């Protein structure tokens, strides 16, 4: 492996779509590419200096781009493999779980009228995705992700559909 001067960035292919969202939940840069072209995946991974994460055995040992063959079909084991392979920790909710953009912490007043009223009244901090216009806050799903990330690092989590609460600004709430 080469020494990197910047954080590891991942390219996740169509064989492990759910993994991309969970890596984002954990604050990691994980771009999803569902193209079926192996050549296009490898070229993009190399061009963008991303590590390709896949279940496709034919990509194992590629010389075009760094590729990690995920051994398991189970999300929890895939996450553990990625975190342990690269010695990564987690900073839950620093990335948009939908588009992978870094979230910006915004003044509470900016969320007024853009999130459900009860959320606005009960929360004091909000993050915003400038790319897809979503707001995030630390609700019950935030605690679930926090717990899952701790458990992942301890090897205790099982696959689940926990997530981070969000609101799209164009949803009328």
In SS3 terms, the chain reads as CCCCCCCCEEEECHHHHHHHHHHHHCCCEEEECCCCCHHHHHHHHHHCCCEEEECCHHHCCCCCCCEEECCCCCHHHHHHHHHHHHCCCCCCCCECCCCCCECEEECHHHHCCCCCHHHHHHCCCEEEECCCCEEECCCHHHHHHHHHHHHHHHCCCCCCCCCCCEEEHHHCC
pTM of the model: 0.74
Which range has the worst mean pLDDT, 17-31, 68-82, 159-173? 159-173
What would the pLDDT profile of 108-125 be if each residue is shown by its tens digit?
A: 999 999 999 999 999 999
Does residue 2 form part of some domain? Answer: no
Query: Looking at the domain assignment, is residue 92 inside a domain?
Result: no
- pLDDT tens per residue, range 133-145: 999 998 766 666 6
The pLDDT tens digits for 91-101 are: 666 889 899 99
Residues 65 and 111 in one domain: no
Domain count for the chain, please give it: 2
Note whether residue 74 is domain-resident: yes
**Residue 162: what pLDDT?**
34
């Amino acid at each position: 492996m080469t020494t990197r001067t910047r954080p590891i960035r991942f390219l996740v292919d169509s064989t492990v779509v759910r993994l991309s969202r969970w890596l984002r939940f954990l604050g990691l840069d994980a771009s999803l590419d569902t193209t079926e072209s192996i050549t296009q995946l490898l070229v993009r991974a190399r061009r963008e200096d991303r590590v390709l994460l896949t279940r496709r055995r034919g990509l194992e040992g590629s010389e075009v781009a760094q590729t990690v063959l995920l051994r398991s079909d189970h999300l929890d084991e895939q996450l553990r493999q990625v975190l342990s392979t690269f010695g990564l920790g987690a900073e839950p909710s620093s990335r948009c779980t939908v588009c992978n953009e870094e979230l910006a912490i915004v003044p509470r007043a900016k969320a007024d009228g853009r999130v459900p009223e009860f959320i606005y009244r009960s929360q004091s901090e909000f993050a915003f995705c400038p790319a897809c216009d979503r707001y995030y806050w630390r609700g019950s799903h935030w605690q679930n992700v926090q717990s899952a990330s701790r458990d992942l690092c301890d090897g205790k989590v099982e696959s689940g559909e926990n997530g981070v609460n969000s609101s799209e600004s164009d949803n009328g709430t």
